[in-house]
Amino acid sequence: MKDLLIPSVATILATRDETPDTRTFALRFRDDEEHRSFSFRPGQFVELSVFGAGEAPFCLASSPTRPEHIEVTVRRCGVVTNALHALGPGDEVGLRGPCGNGFDVEAAQGWDLLFVAGGIGLPPLRGLIWNVLDQRSRFGHITILYGARTPADLVYKDELRVWSAMDGVEVKVTVDRGAPGWEGNVGMVPVLFDQVELRPERTVAYVCGPPVMIKFVVQDLLMRKFAPERVISTLERMMQCGVGKCNHCCVGHRYLCRDGPVFSFAEIREMWE
């Protein structure tokens, strides 16, 4: 039996700067066999170690349909994330996972999909977006709404362009505060709701972002008659083990690292502690 808390060594293949403090890392397990056998769902996460600095959870930002490497997008904010940002191609880190439940892609088959992301909330959805785009015919219309504080805080700028050029995919972007050269929307994410046609009765909505943004967006969606079972979000708590043992991530008797981090709003409503 494999040890629960022991990471395997992985190599950083490439990095890409997304914003001044956010970077995407492409990773591959050093052992080919291990890399090939690593299977995951979008919405799951990994525990990533910078040896000596420690371990932290990051969601898998790539799609299982593109298995050559695994991607995580990391904002620099503390010990582990700073140490990770100091590493580059060829450097080694530790990986453990996948952890958590992930999105139920099968259940969304045949539905229209609405993605609503705020700031660093796009990475967990990006894996799912590529996943559905890679099996395009199985899903209905796709709408992607994305907001960040300023134009400089938008991640995956190239991919936003690629997605918006695709058939049957609608992409809208907004920023809280504009900047010189910015000609797009200004305002919080919900302003985008009035720019697209929403079809609550045939849509599954995925909402990811900072807690306040999730709160407002979900309220808005429910008011617009989206069913709570079909408003899906990810929750965050401080995590250590990622495998349901350490108790850091509990909400009541639910373990976000095992029962989550993906929940429908119908489930979130029932959670208390």
Ligand X SMILES: Cc1cc2nc3c(=O)[nH]c(=O)nc-3n(C[C@H](O)[C@H](O)[C@H](O)COP(=O)(O)OP(=O)(O)OC[C@H]3O[C@@H](n4cnc5c(N)ncnc54)[C@H](O)[C@@H]3O)c2cc1C
Binding site for ligand X (CB under 6 A): 45, 54, 56-59, 72-75, 77-81, 120, 123, 236, 239, 261
Instruction: Judge contact between 2 and 38, C-beta under 8 A.
Output: no
One symbol per residue from 95 to 134: x for binding ligand FES (CB under 6 A), - otherwise; what is it? ----------------------------------------
Please, which residue, 7 or 228, has the CB nearer to ligand FES?
7
For position 251 contacting ligand FES by CB under 6 A, the verdict is no
99 φ/ψ angles, rounded to the nearest 5 degrees? -115, 155
Whichever of 190 and 261 has its CB closer to ligand FES, that residue is: 261
The site map against another protein for 77-96 (x = CB under 8 A) is xx--x--------xxx-x--
First to last CA, the chain: 34
- In the structure encoding, which two tokens stand for residue 39, read together? 């299977």
* N residues, the chain: 273
Peptide bond into 228 cis (omega under 30): no
Backbone φ, ψ for residue 59 (5° rounding): -75, 150
**CB within 8 Å of 42: residues ≥ 6 apart:** 60, 63, 64, 102, 103, 105, 124, 127, 128, 131
Q: Which is nearer to another protein, 9 or 133 (CB)?
A: 9
What are the C-alpha distances in Å from 76 to residues 23, 64, 111, 191? Answer: 8, 25, 36, 29
Choose between 59 and 241: whose C-beta lies nearer to ligand X: 59
Q: Does 239 bind ligand FES (CB under 6 A)?
A: yes
Residue 123, binding choice from ligand X, another protein, ligand FES, none, Cβ under 5 to 8 Å by partner class = ligand X
Interface with ligand FES (CB under 6 A), residue from 127, 242, 260, 261: 242
Residues that bind another protein (CB under 8 A): 1-9, 49, 51-56, 77-78, 81, 90-92, 94, 210-211, 236-238, 240-241, 243-248, 250-253, 258, 272-273
